[in-house]
Each structure stands twice: as C-alpha cells, then as structure tokens.
C-alpha cells in the first residue's frame, strides 16, 4: 500500500524511569511494516536518563517522533496529554518497557474496519524477550471484558475525543476504568485472536512498587465501575459479562490483598466488597450464584465460584485463613 493512502496511526508512550527498556519499544515502532506512524514519547518527570534517550531518537527520526517533557503527574494524565497531541486517525498505547511485533499496526488497522475499537491478545515475555505465555482472546465481541488493559488495542481517535474519554487519576485501575468507558460509549468493538503486543515482565511495574495495603482500593474501584455501568442500557446489553467481570476483579485482588493484610483487615475488605456486589446484583437483576464464562480459563472460573460459595455457604472465614496462610508476605 502506498504510504500516502495509509491512515496515520499515533503511538502514545508515557515514559518514566525507563532507560533500560525504552529503546526496544521505540525500535519496535520504527520497524513496523506500516509506514504512516506518529510516535509520541512523553517524559513524565523521569529521574534517570530516559529524557536524553528519547531526545536522541527524536533527533534521529524527527518526522516520526515527537518528544514532550513535563513534571511527573502519573501515567493516566500523561496518556491524556498524549491523546490531546495526537494527530493520527487511530491511537494505540505502548508502555515504555513493552514492544510490538513488526506487523502489529498493519494487522490492527487492516482488521478494525468501521469499528471504534479493535482488541487483540498479547504475549507475556521475560527480560530476554522469551515468550512466557500468550494470552489470546476469542474473536467475538463477548471477549472484550477479558481484555481490560489499554494496550494491544487500536482506537479510533475521533471516538475517544467526541465522547470525552480520558484516564482518571487513579493509582491502580485507570486502564480498567478507561476500557469500561470505551465499551459503554460504543457497541462497535471487534475482538481478534491476533497477538502482536509484547508485555515485558519486570520489577519496575506500578503494581509491584505500589503499597498494596494503602493504594489498592479495589472496593472503591468496583463501586465506581458499577456506577458507570448503569449508564443507558449497558447492563442489559452486557449482563452476563458484567456479572462475571465484577466478581473476577474482586477475586483477583482478594488474593493480592491477602499478601499484605492481617485476618481482620482482610475480613473487613471481603465483607465490604462482597456485600456491595451482592446488593448491586440484586438491584439490577443480575446473577449472584454459580457461573461459568467460556472465554476465561478454568482456574479463573473456579476461583470466582469458590468466592461466591464461600459467601453463600458461610465458609468465608476458612477461605480467608487459607489465603493468608498461603500468600501472606511476612
């Protein structure tokens, strides 16, 4: 395809203390087999040499790369800044320590059609870029709730701007909130089993460095998401997926909380979260009993159903003690 007929794609990369990884991500964008690309690199107050590195790349490829430098404000506000600066018809997000397969953008553009969002899977890779596992999603619209991260997706820029979709200023869950906002505002979502995004496992991620005891307010996040989902007829259109999604989110972070909370703290967290979800489900005629989602692995289905039954059969104390014994970090 001739370059002038290619729709421009903007790749937005927030950069914070990423000197060890950022060049790999930049090179993966420059090596795309799709030519009409704008790469926006935003230094979010890095304390290492990240700014010098991305400026070097900007000087080398001034027609492709744009570098912005600002005070530290967090990944959400930095991505919002990137959206405002983007000039492409499409937007995709890349984390500073991740990288793309060379056909990622061409494949996503080819498949998006008249949709507002296309969602792909991703590869989890180690620091040597060896694939640990591939998270594929089924190529149907029901799979969108399995992929609540904001990368491995391509968004139509006009859709984001017209609907005022931005990232909230959250320490955790800003990607989940953003994803839900996009799903609420359009039904034109396509899922593909293509996996061309590579997520690098490293010790510098936000989740690993946050204070799990103070920062991980998942009950607050779930309440916020539940309230958002009441917009229009979104619940009615996605009831089964939302039933599973909210409980999956609560269950996943129940395990994380068990690493840092004592029994009484974990019990308080459990009761507050499970009671809110149960009441919300009852109010909106949603199912709070044994469930199965074919787009999710067996172990995820099992864990969620154990949490549900621990409440219904009143063995939550046993479950919480088992979690603390197995996962608590002393």
As a whole number of Å, the end-to-end CA separation of the chain is 58
Quick count: other Cβ atoms within 10 Å of Cβ 323? 19
Q: Which CATH architecture has domain 3-207?
A: Alpha-Beta Complex (3.90)
Instruction: Indicate the domain borders of the chain.
Output: 3-207, 211-327
Quick one: average pLDDT of 257-286?
93
pLDDT of residue 330: 61
* Helix and strand counts by DSSP (H, E) for the chain: 14, 9
Using 50, 70 and 90 to split pLDDT, how confident is the model at 70? Answer: very high
pTM of the model: 0.89
Q: Specify whether the CB–CB gap between 259 and 329 falls below 8 A.
A: yes
- Residue-wise pLDDT tens digits, 77-135: 999 999 999 999 999 999 999 999 999 999 999 999 999 999 999 999 999 999 999 98
**What is the spatial distance between Cα 288 and Cα 278, in angstroms, rounded to a whole number?**
6
Phi first, then psi: give them for residue 283, nearest 5 degrees. -65, -35
Which tokens is 309 given? Answer: 């039954």
pLDDT of residue 203: 56
Q: Partners of 38 in the beta sheet?
A: 10
Work out whether the CA dihedral 204, 208, 212, 217 comes out positive or negative.
Answer: positive
- The least confident of 42-56, 158-172, 232-246 is 158-172
Tell me the percentage of the chain whose pLDDT exceeds 90: 78
- Closest Cα to residue 184, out of 158, 207, 160? 160
Does 238 score more than 60 pLDDT? yes
């Amino acid at each position: 395809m001739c370059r002038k007929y290619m729709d421009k794609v903007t790749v937005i990369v927030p950069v914070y203390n990423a000197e060890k990884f950022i060049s790999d991500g930049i090179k993966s964008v420059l090596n795309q087999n799709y030519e009409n690309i704008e790469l926006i690199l935003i230094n979010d107050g890095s304390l290492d040499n990240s700014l010098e590195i991305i400026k070097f790349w900007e000087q080398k490829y001034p027609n492709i790369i744009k570098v912005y430098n600002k005070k530290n404000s967090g990944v959400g506000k930095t991505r919002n800044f990137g959206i405002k600066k983007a000039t492409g018809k499409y937007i995709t997000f890349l984390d500073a320590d991740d990288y793309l397969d060379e056909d990622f953008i061409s494949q996503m553009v080819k498949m998006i059609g008249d949709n507002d969002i296309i969602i792909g899977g991703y590869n989890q890779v180690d620091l040597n870029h060896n694939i640990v596992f591939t998270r594929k999603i089924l190529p149907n619209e029901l799979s969108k709730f399995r992929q609540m991260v904001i990368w491995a997706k391509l968004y139509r820029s006009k859709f984001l701007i017209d609907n005022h979709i931005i990232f909230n200023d959250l320490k955790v869950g800003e990607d989940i909130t953003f994803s839900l906002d996009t799903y609420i505002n359009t039904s034109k979502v396509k899922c593909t089993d293509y996996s061309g995004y590579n997520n690098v496992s490293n010790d510098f991620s936000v989740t690993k460095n946050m204070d799990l005891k103070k920062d991980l307010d998942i009950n607050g996040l779930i309440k916020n998401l539940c309230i958002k989902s009441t917009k229009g007829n979104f619940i009615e259109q996605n009831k089964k997926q939302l039933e599973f999604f909210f409980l999956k989110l609560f269950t996943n972070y129940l395990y994380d909380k068990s690493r840092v909370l004592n029994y009484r703290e974990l019990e308080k967290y459990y009761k507050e979260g499970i009671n809110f979800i149960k009441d919300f489900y009852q109010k909106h005629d949603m199912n709070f009993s044994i469930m199965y989602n074919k787009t999710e692995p067996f172990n995820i289905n099992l864990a969620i159903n154990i949490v549900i039954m621990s409440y219904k059969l009143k063995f939550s104390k046993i479950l919480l003690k088992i979690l603390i014994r197995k996962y608590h970090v002393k």
